[in-house]
Chains A and B, each alone.
Chain A
Amino acid sequence: MTDKQFVNEFGDGDTKAVKVGGASGFCVPRKKFAETIIGFEGVPTGGSMKLFNSSRSMYNVLHNYLDFFTEESCGQCTPCRVGCQQLLKGVEKVKKGEVKSTYLNELIKLSDTMKIAAKCGLGQSVGNAFKSIVGNFREEIIY
């Protein structure tokens, strides 16, 4: 099943994005709905699917996820414990204009490190959510 078929099941009107696989999954933007297969051959599922319509701010969505990860990190390993805090504080500062928008590139590099350096799946998957939202909705995070 593709994302397009999936949202149609729910009477798609103005779905902006679908988060496949819960908090730690990937966020798929509308323009990629048709080509994205839900499943291991495409974007793997796990847990929940979340649909966001156009009234949603993707900054708030990202902030909400990062807040969740910062709280839910067990705190043992450095990449996850401190990395989550850095990502959260980083996007807040970008939004407020206190750091340059290019700081997002640094944060993406950091989330890549978290992916390969964290001790468990939680820390390793923060980057999925972060990169897929920032990558596809960059202007919403900045402005």
Chain B
Amino acid sequence: MINLLINDQKVSVQKGTTVLAAARKLKINIPTLCNHDDLCVAGNCRVCLVEQKGARTLIASCATPASEGMEIHTNTLKVRNARKHIVELLLSEHRSDCTKCYKNQNCELHSLANEFAFGEHILLDLVEDKKYNIDRSSVSFVKDDSKCIRCQRCVRTCSELQSVSAIAVANKGAHQTISSFHDRPMSHVVCSNCGQCVNRCPTGALVEKTYIDQVWDAIYDPDKHVVVQTAPAVRVALGEDLGYDPGERVTGKMVNALKQLGFNSVLDTDFSADLTIMEEGTELLVRLKKALVDGDKKISLPMFTSCSPGWIKFIEHKYPEFLPNLSTCKSPQQMFGALAKTYYAKKRNIDPSKIVSVSIMPCTAKKFEADRPEMRSSGFKDVDYVLTTRELAVMIKQAGLDFRNLEEAKYDSIMGESTGAGVIFGVTGGVMEAALRTAYEIVTGREVPFGNLIITPVRGMEGVKEATIKIEGCVDAWKCLEGAELKCAIAHGLSNAKKRMKMVKAGEASYHFIEIMGCPGGCIGGRGQPIPTNLAISTKRMKAIYSEDENMVHRKSHLNPEVVAIYKEFLDQPNSHKSHELLHTHYVERDNY
């Protein structure tokens, strides 16, 4: 242990602890900006400067490890003046159109400026001298360089957490910018649209592209029938933007709020998640049978999940040779969209051209997915608008709803019913767990051999998870798989995905089924989720999802009564011709530069 003094208070910390962490242990607040719990140290904003006795200069507390006998002061005049100067310098380089900014009231630089109570600007405005670029090319987010303070959180996120490196630091000194490859528009570079950078940007330099106004227009258009679907991870995070603690489930209140906002029908993505399991589980079993029993060399194994649009775009760019390994199933959002304008329209007797399909997602990449040209199998754009969890919270505030005191409501019917298996789609390992619950039962006629259906090896926040399930006692139709060992692997966050892909490519791993989610923690850590999102908060959301699962009546996708009904009335059976038409898709090879 290392002993030091901070503001004359003694504290003992482990070796390697930063001065910042030591101060936090004493509940001493040091402002930070470039520092983020999920990312490596940068120490470049200098907002967290503190005074160390005997040192020539001030030190950045986020980047300095505590050492024995250190004497730190966090609140001297020297420190305060330096911090004030630094925040002022940042403001002079930042286009401060705060009241009109999308991040208004939600900006870390704004809060810092508030702390220092600047009466007037002493330093000169530098923004007017520069030609800044506002990049609106991506369907998922907007990159406005004039609001960038070069903290490089986005750059670190993209390379460290996602190993995509779509953005990097270009030029030096006054000309430094956060730029893409050859300064190309973000729509034309290797970017997965995961939006991790958006979630970590402390200012309004990176924000999601918002479609709130278009959705309001649709709601108030008497000719339109607006259906909304909500993703599993939204219900455990929405509360955070509305005054709840992380990890509180607000499912019932959210459904009621959506009804109050004026959506004609409030439905659940969990329903189509259950449907995904039926389709994807069957696809896996068919692939296994063809490869293992019939010896068909053309079948690509391992099969990868295809629910995460960030992951899909990543593999299309980086590993196009593995596209045949991707499950052909659409993501639950797109399955829902395709069915809303076919099955739902038919059942409710509504002209599909009058239906506006909106989805509430924890994700910015879903905006891109909904815009893909392949996603028009209903004859219309399957999902018209994608809103993030944050955007929904904004709409609820705009409507002036007293969210905390809303009654709980239930999802509407036809495509509103779900099971616990659909709910856990929102966390890493969830798709795997849901698929195993159903696939194992199809093959053996028995429940998975884990207590209370909780498949522990696939749960948790570890970057690398594996599970092997031995298939024994098969029913007659699947006797061919008797004794086979199903090897599964799970990765979340694209840098973990890349590690897996390297293993698979090198032939070091022989898996049958790999679940990959583009964001750390799965959709609960998605980048449409409330800010801040970090490991601790994601873990709380994960707990909430699992408790939601355990509170469900049905916890296996094939028991969802509406899923049973849709196969009976409309789709015939999993992987039928009709479901291939509506629920499956194909992928395109994209450039790796």
Residue of A nearest to B90 (CB): A78
B92 and A82 contacting across the interface, CB-CB below 8 Å: yes
The reply to whether A117 and B86 contact each other, CB–CB distance below 8 Å, is yes
Task: Chain B residues near A45: list those with CB within 8 A.
Answer: none
If A106-B122, A115-B57, A117-B57 touch, whether A78 touches B174 (CB-CB below 8 Å) is no
Question: Smallest Cβ distance from A90 to chain B, in angstroms?
Answer: 6
Complex CA gap A78/B149 in Å reads 8
Contact A82 B90 (CB under 8 A): yes
Chain B 65-94 near chain A by CB (<8 Å), digits 1 or 0: 000000000000010011001100110110
Q: CA of A24 to CA of B81 in the docked complex: distance in angstroms?
A: 23
For the complex formed, measure the closest distance between the CB of B159 and the CB atoms of chain A, giving whole angstroms. Answer: 16
Q: Check A74–B45 contact: CB distance below 8 A.
A: no
Q: Hey, which chain B residues are within 8 Å of A117, CB to CB?
A: 46, 49, 57-58, 82, 85-86
- The reply to whether the CB of A75 lies closer than 8 angstroms to some CB of chain B is yes
Name the A residues within 8 Å of B171 (CB-CB): 75
**Nearest CB in chain A: distance from B148 CB, A:** 12
CB-CB contacts below 8 Å: A58-83 with B: 70-79, 81-83
Among B43, B90, B92, point to the contact of A119 (Cβ < 8 A). Answer: B43
Determine whether the beta carbon of B58 is less than 8 Å from that of A116.
yes
B418: shortest Cβ distance to chain A, in Å?
A: 49
**Given the contacts A93-B124, A113-B81, A77 and B172 also touching, CB distance less than 8 Å:** no
**How far, in angstroms, from A109 to B82 measured CA to CA in the complex?**
10
Please tell me if the beta carbons of B89 and A79 are within 8 angstroms of each other in the complex: yes
The reply on B173 being an interface residue by CB < 8 A is yes
A51 at the interface (CB under 8 A from B): no
Partner of B150, one of A72, A81, A83: A81
**A106 surroundings in chain B (CB, below 8 A):** 122-123
Known: A117-B57, A117-B82, A124-B57. A81 touches B46 (CB 8 A): no
Q: Decide yes or no whether A50 CB sits under 8 A from chain B.
A: no
A119–B49 alpha-carbon span in the complex (Å): 11
From residue 241 to 289 of chain B, which have CB atoms closer than 8 A to chain A? Answer: none
| A82-B126 in contact given A75-B150, A119-B46 (Cβ < 8 Å) | yes
Bound Cα distance A117, B171 (Å): 22
In the complex, whether B8 has a CB less than 8 A from a CB of chain A is: no
Residues of B within 8 A of A118 (CB): 46, 57
B172 touches A110 (CB 8 A): no
Q: Give the residue of A71, A77, A99 whose beta carbon is less than 8 angstroms from that of B44.
A: A77
Distance in angstroms from B558 CB to nearest chain A CB is 55
Q: How far is the CA of A115 from the CA of B55 in the complex (A)?
A: 13
Main secondary structure of the interface of A (DSSP, over half): helix
Are A110's CB and B123's CB within 8 A? yes
Q: Once the chains bind, are A78 and B173 in contact (CB under 8 Å)?
A: no
Interface residues on A, range: 20 to 34
Q: How far is the CA of A86 from the CA of B93 in the complex (A)?
A: 10
| B349 beta carbon closer than 8 Å to chain A | no
Q: Is A27 an interface residue (CB 8 A)?
A: no
* Contact yes or no, B174 A81, CB < 8 A: yes
B124 and A84 within 8 A (CB):
no
> B176 contacts the other chain (Cβ, under 8 Å)?
yes
Tell me if A85 counts as interface (CB < 8 A to partner B).
yes
Query: A residues within 8 A CB of B89?
Result: 78-79, 82-83, 86, 110
Would B124 and A78 count as touching, CB distance under 8 A? no
Are B173 and A72 in touch, CB under 8 angstroms?
A: yes
Q: How long is the Cα–Cα vector from A73 to B175 in the complex, in angstroms?
A: 10
By the criterion CB–CB under 8 Å, are A70 and B85 in contact? no
A96 located at the interface, meaning its Cβ lies under 8 Å from any Cβ of chain B in the complex: no
Docked CA distance A89–B150 (Å): 20
Q: Do residues A85 and B126 form an inter-chain contact, with CB atoms below 8 A? A: yes
Near A by CB (< 8 A), chain B positions 2-51 give 43-47, 49
Is A113 within 8 A of B86, CB to CB?
A: yes
Contact B174 A73 (CB under 8 A): yes
CB pair B129 A89 closer than 8 Å: yes
6 A-B pairs (CB sep. < 8 Å):
A78-B89, A82-B92, A93-B124, A116-B82, A117-B58, A117-B86
Please report B residues at the A interface, Cβ cutoff 8 Å. 43-47, 49, 56-58, 60, 78, 81-82, 85-86, 89-90, 92-93, 122-124, 126, 129, 149-150, 169, 171-176
Closest 7 CB pairs of A and B: A75-B176, A82-B89, A73-B173, A113-B85, A76-B44, A116-B57, A75-B172
